[in-house]
Amino acid sequence: MRRRWRFLVCGPGPGAWHMALDEALAELCGQGASPPTLRTFVFEGRCLSLGRLQPASPLAQRAEALGIGTVRRPTGGGAVLHAGDICYAVVAPLDDPAVGGPLRRSYCQMALALVRALESLGVTSPRVCEATARAARAEACFASSSAFEVTAGGAKLVGSAQLRRRGALLQQGSLRTVADHALEVSLFGSSLGPSLAELLGRVPSLAEVAEALRRGFAEVLGLELEPGSLLPHEEALARARLAAAA
């Protein structure tokens, strides 16, 4: 029997709101007060998100000079320029049969679901990166690939990072849907490679990518993803976190 998860498709919103919401959902999931959830969303306007422990300077200063706001993610990894990408987040208990358990297994399971999603969009031969010797972390998330991230055509298409805390996991990821190469050069010093739209020859919509993600996670992980909405106590906690961070 397929396990049921909630599926959320969220429209554009400020970066700080999306981060507060993901943290709130993870906290409540760990308490048993929110269901396992796959959420898709986009950032409102251009925004730079920094990994949880990533130094802000001088990258945040360059972003400010370019008129780009900055937010810090609860998960780790390098900086992501949100300028047309489509993001996903997974919250689930640490003992969830589909994505819980050892960290490597969790990353691998979700990477395989992401590969299936890209295949359904028409991407040719997406693959999961294998573990390699640890190298110096690049400033930008999409400048290098780590184990269990997803590439195609020599390009990193999905960057992901996971946080585990108080009985729940939160995995956040970005699908490099479109790319502003000139802006990447100004911010990071170089372009970060082709985007999903460039590989497909078209720009997929949020609805199309969201459905591909839903299908990929359902097929690979054996889930029944039911469309849902935020619960009042979830939104209240997210707004409280947002206010506390202001």
Known catalytic residues? Answer: 141
Distance of CA 99 to the CA centre of its chain: 15
| DSSP designation for 129 | P
In whole angstroms, what is the distance from residue 143 CA to residue 156 CA?
8
> 38, 5 in Cβ contact below 8 A?
yes
In whole angstroms, what is the distance from residue 76 CA to residue 92 CA?
18
In whole angstroms, what is the distance from residue 145 CA to residue 135 CA?
10
What are the structure tokens assigned to 55, written together?
């130094």
What are the structure tokens assigned to 116, written together?
């299936």
Closest CA to 175 of 234, 228, 229, 216: 216
Closest CA to 195 of 149, 150, 145, 156: 156
Quickly list H helices, the chain: 15-30, 59-65, 103-121, 181-188, 196-200, 206-221, 232-245
